[in-house]
Structure 1
């Protein structure tokens, strides 16, 4: 991963440096001082002045006055320039502001839990996929799914699915893809429902990735070359070049390939290219155009493990088999273009305009193992889907800073239009090789493929060549689901200082669903078998009040809402148990329904400590979700359901600490202590009332710390802990075994340690080493409701990288 580097004074740009840059980077001056050159240069510059002072009486008098005068101390501090405009200078893990211009105050003054992971923290951690980065943060777990809802990153924030609540630079990213970090400046996790910012959805929160953009401030060329165990290779480049005084180009590139540790032959490959071009016509008007392209492919996709046994002995199998076959794959192709305009219309009025068009093509086709009781072995099943996404979005944010009754007032008015379309289908498998086992007891012909020895039981030995037993050829089938939504939205937000200590925050947003259609089709003939159309206006608000108890400390209270519609998860089709379109039991057709609604109350405090280099936060919250769409059973493919019959509650406490504890010690730490329960359910799920939500960890915490004993060497690590959780359907309580009262699909808690170290050889070269999962802990992150997808964390990996600044 690319690292923030020392000042690039060897490639100066004619644009004057900002005070922030001057304060942030003095490595060249330090280098001169170490060689004794600074004193010589200073003396040479002062000699003519000294000669003049000796001959001019007036100059002599002025010189004596100057000698007696007291000048402010100029402190030269060697710090790396961080091109992230939202960074806190000198604190690599701490962000000062949000990348979303609608947050008008610094994060330390915003009455809401907003957790930020900076590029420096990501680079030190050694994690690269967004899923890996965010699953290490407190209050976030991973969800699971299969067939229509297995694509890409599946996050659960405060117990609520957030796979459709991922944003890039403030615009929703509906691609549901596998996302990489090579072009990310910082990742912001907003906790609690807040559709005033995010629009529909965001029941538990939202994720906003801020991308790297071209800058006129200075030029740099950074290259990172990494290798490691399990055939790990990762190469990135980050190049920024000013073209004259008014234009700049920034290029980020990625090529990466790796085997999944201890899961041969599973592998992951990532390629990416991000190009950003800036034209600054004047200090008041600029245009930025950027392209983002990414290609992700997993050969022999790793679906992890599976559960075996009965309660109270339900556990992961000890058989470490990967069931994927030759030719199996999981792919994600992303192409996105964005245009940004920033116009300072007047000293107090600024317009930020964003327009984006993108396409994402996701597909997977593979075999995955699960335990078969009759075969007394692990058999493999097919899972496949393709999904093509097209999306257009335009957003205008007008900020107006004014005075209200003599008090500072910041207003933001937003207009937004989005057009998102998702087509889905599947693959058919043609198998060239014969079955090698049977799932029925007694005599009979083989009717299945086994990857462990038939009759050997739950932890049977793996058969010979388990990844070459089917001879499968995959053929893409026709479209079976067509999801399309057009939305126009308007919002108004205001931040006003009521007194020197009290500040009020508020916002209202209307989202008009202009055209929502969800069609099911016969994949072979293309005939429409179902056509659901829906129109709705979503009304959401956010309000907060903060009180400054000290110059750098606030307490606050906040309230926010979020809403989503029936069928709002486009990748779930008509899988009612996973947020898909709910068809009503006994009717056989879909029907209109009230939006699902989440309400969140939060009380908290934030403190900027140690000269603003350390931010401490604490919040207590409660989220109530009502009008939940429910499936009518815990069946694997529940289609029929009921609308607006469910409700659940999540409440808890979150703590955070990020920044510099000392000049040599940086950290990012957080903990979440939460409880969840179903408070209302339909008749079919009434027995689940009081049960917790699926893949919900009551306790989660993480600590990433870095200590720098010398100017050229630092080391640190990350320790993260998740408590145990249970599998099940989103928005429906987890099932318990009737006989034992234990969770039917358990996932054990875990604690994992990662280590890293950095050594700077010179101003051009730095070494970076990581040991991920240093204790080689076997752990699992999520489980499917049937227990036959048990996502497994990566085993130990060693990597070493060279950071070059050219």
Structure 2
């Protein structure tokens, strides 16, 4: 299999200044106990770039057996440092959990974001005031179990990823700045958590749905980018975490997702009803350790990720993969241990990401790692 090298040179710099203040506390009003969290955030990010030229040029080579002696002749020259734009945010949030009695509690919160993004080169700017809300209820039918229902909203302003490179993902790309209001999402989740086996093992299950309305799409009448799209993700999550026995620990999880494009157009192409790209419908993981001797622990695990489409047309896809890992740890003292890991034991070919269907990133093959850890007390 051959691949093509190409000059994709890019000099880009982001300079950020962030101030984050959080406040936590509790108080009572009559018979009700409140646990609250509040915060402020101010941030500014400035993005710069330089033009580049004089790269080695493109060629082709074997993908799995590239030529290690290939000579690269280049004389890279940089242009002046230019400001591409900036992102400024001012945020305020407050969240409160109210304990009604031993079985029932309510929680709710609100967040305000003032978001401003500017593209200096294109002379485009956008300023949005965004309100987000969350509310939920928790019921404890038993001391070791709880059932909860939660609802929340969120928003994605235009140009939210302006500081990132790219922007080749059509009208939905978050790195592009359009003079549009934020996309809006609403989510609900119903779940439960139970501590079993003398509360050594925690079992959780949840079903959820997220709907994005006012999603970026192409207006079929004018061809302009508009907020006429929508999509939906439904899902199920199961997990088990804790100790089966005092010597045997386990971390296991399974996720099923149904990511659906309800309405989306990229110029003349219509993708209604397709699966949202980059999202696997099925994924699962298992990791377990066992203390075979007081000073020796062995462990192993498996991770599965289902196939993922990498284009809106659902033609190109990354295949599913299963990866096995293992470890052994020796506790030299109470505070010092040595751990040896073997990752991707079978050297499985893994594609861990893709750039809008243009190319895929190959994940790490088999690897070995020896770590020494010392804990101070």
Q: TM-score, normalised by structure 2?
A: 0.89
1:510–1:802 distance in 2 versus 1, CA, 3 Å: closer
Aligned partner (choices 527, 537, 548) of residue 140 of structure 2: 548
Checking the alignment, whether the CA contact within 8 Å between 2:205 and 2:238 is kept in structure 1 is yes
1:61-101, Cα deviation, whole Å (9 max, x unpaired): xxxxxxxxxxxxxxxxxxxxxxxxxxxxxxxxxxxxxxxxx
Unaligned runs of 5+ in 1: 1-318, 320-376, 436-447, 453-458, 521-529, 583-589, 634-639, 729-733, 737-742
The structural deviation recorded for 1:621 is 0.4
Aligned residue pairs, count: 371
Residue 611 of structure 1: how far off its partner (Å): 4.4
1:450 corresponds to 2:60: yes
Shift of 1:629: 2.1
Q: Which residue of 1 aligns with 2:92?
A: 490
Instruction: Say which of 393, 397, 407 aligns to 2:32.
Output: 407
Structure 2 counterpart of 1:669: 252
Structure 1 residues 715-762: Cα deviation after superposition (integer angstroms, max 9, x where no partner): 01120001111112xxxxx214xxxxxx2x121101100000012244
1:562/1:598 contact within 8 Å kept: yes
Conserved in 2, the CA contact under 8 Å of 1:629 and 1:641? no
Question: What is the deviation of 1:479?
Answer: 4.5
What does residue 361 of structure 2 align with? 791
Partner of residue 118 from structure 2, selected from 517, 522, 543 = 517
Determine whether 1:379 maps to 2:1: no
* Deviation digits for residues 261-285 of structure 1 (CA, Å, limit 9, x no counterpart): xxxxxxxxxxxxxxxxxxxxxxxxx
Q: Which runs of 4+ in 1 moved over 6 A?
A: none
1:773 aligns with 2:344: yes
Residues in 1 aligned to 2:149 and 2:114: alpha-carbon distance in whole angstroms: 29
2:313 is the counterpart of 1:735:
yes
Question: Could you give the per-residue CA deviations for residues 238-291 of structure 1, whole angstroms, max 9, x where no partner exists?
Answer: xxxxxxxxxxxxxxxxxxxxxxxxxxxxxxxxxxxxxxxxxxxxxxxxxxxxxx
Matched-pair contact (CA < 8 Å) for 1:670–1:701: yes
Which residue in the other structure is 2:274 paired with?
691
C-alpha distance in structure 1 between counterparts of 2:207 and 2:61, whole Å: 48
Structure 2 counterpart of 1:270: none
Q: 1:610 to 1:473 in 2, by over 3 A?
A: farther
Of 10, 14, 21, which residue of structure 2 is paired with 1:396?
Answer: 21
Q: Distance in 2 between matches of 1:490 and 1:462?
A: 52
Q: 1:661 to 1:483 in 2, by over 3 A?
A: farther
Q: Distance in 2 between matches of 1:649 and 1:538?
A: 21
Aligned residues: CA RMSD? 2.6
5+ residue gaps, structure 2: none
Taking CA–CA contacts closer than 8 Å with sequence separation of 6 or more, which of the two structures ends up with the larger relative contact order?
1
**2:4–2:59 Cα contact (<8 Å) kept:** yes
1:415 Cα shift? 2.5
Would the aligned equivalents of 1:632 and 1:685 in 2 still touch at CA under 8 Å? no
Q: What is the deviation of 1:682?
A: 3.3
Q: TM-score if structure 1 supplies the norm length? A: 0.43
Question: Is residue 576–residue 641 contact of structure 1 (8 Å, CA) maintained in 2?
Answer: no
- Residue by residue over 1:504-542, the C-alpha shift from the partner in whole angstroms, topping out at 9 and shown as x without a partner, is 0000111123x431222xxxxxxxxx1112221101001
How far apart are residue 685 of structure 1 and its match?
A: 5.7
Post-superposition CA distance 1:622-643 (Å, at most 9, x none): 001122223689xxxxxx9512
Q: CA deviation at 1:426?
A: 4.3
For the 8 Å contact 2:169–2:356, the answer to whether it is kept is: no
- 1:724 maps to 2:334: no
Contact 2:46 2:83 in 1 (8 A): no
CA 1:396 to 1:473, structure 2 compared with 1: closer, same or farther past 3 Å?
Answer: same
Q: CA deviation at 1:798?
A: 2.4
Pairwise CA distance, 1:694: 1.3
| Residue 475, structure 1, aligned to residue 77, structure 2 | yes
Deviation at 1:660, TM superposition (A): 1.7
Instruction: Output aligned runs, 1:180-219, within 5 Å.
Output: none
Q: Which has the higher helix share?
A: 1
**Aligned partners of 1:632 and 1:573: how far apart in 2?**
23
Cα distance in 1 between the residues matched to 2:195 and 2:46? 44
Question: Which of residues 503, 508, 512 in structure 1 aligns to 2:105?
Answer: 503
Cα distance, 1:793 vs. partner?
1.9
| 1:786 to 1:724, Cα distance in 2 relative to 1, 3 A | closer
